[in-house]
Amino acid sequence: MNSSDFYILLADLILVAHALFVVFVVVGLVLILIGGVCSWSWVRNPWFRLSHLIAIGVVVIQSWFSVICPLTIWENALRQKAGEVGYQDTFISHWLENLLYYQFPQWMFVVAYTLFGALILVSWFWVRPRSFRSRPLG
């Protein structure tokens, strides 16, 4: 394996991690909402819910301040080291453009991330997580 192949492999691994992060945020909300209706106890796990809320919070704050996600930066740097071209915009805008063949203005992503984050925050109150305090032994 030459260094170019190694950089591409690392970039692809970051791409997979980034995609899994998006799946965690999006599918996590869907499962929380379904779990609230179906009374699934695991969707009330406070650690899962807090990590889910923090994940979208980071995305929302990055979008407000026009900060490119570090995963995108690292993936682009590795692809460029391998002689490839990186993304011109953010991870989501790049893949939406490739999937839908349409380029959305950046402000639409800020609004979408903010609304999605607000929905996740609302889900915190609609499907309340359990307390972080441990149960008394007894």
Q: Is the model's pLDDT at 99 over the cut of 60?
A: yes
For 36-68, write each residue's pLDDT tens digit. 999 999 999 999 999 999 999 999 999 999 998
CA distance 8 to 82: 6
Whole-Å CA distances, 76 to 71, 72, 82 = 8, 6, 10
Cα 110 to chain centroid, rounded: 14
pTM (predicted TM-score) = 0.83
- What is residue 16's predicted lDDT score, i.e. its pLDDT? 86
Indicate the pLDDT class of residue 101, thresholds 50, 70 and 90: low
Q: Is the model's pLDDT at 105 over the cut of 70?
A: yes
- Burial label for 100, CB within 10 Å (0-12, 13-18, 19+), is exposed
For 80-98, write each residue's pLDDT tens digit. 898 887 766 666 666 766 6
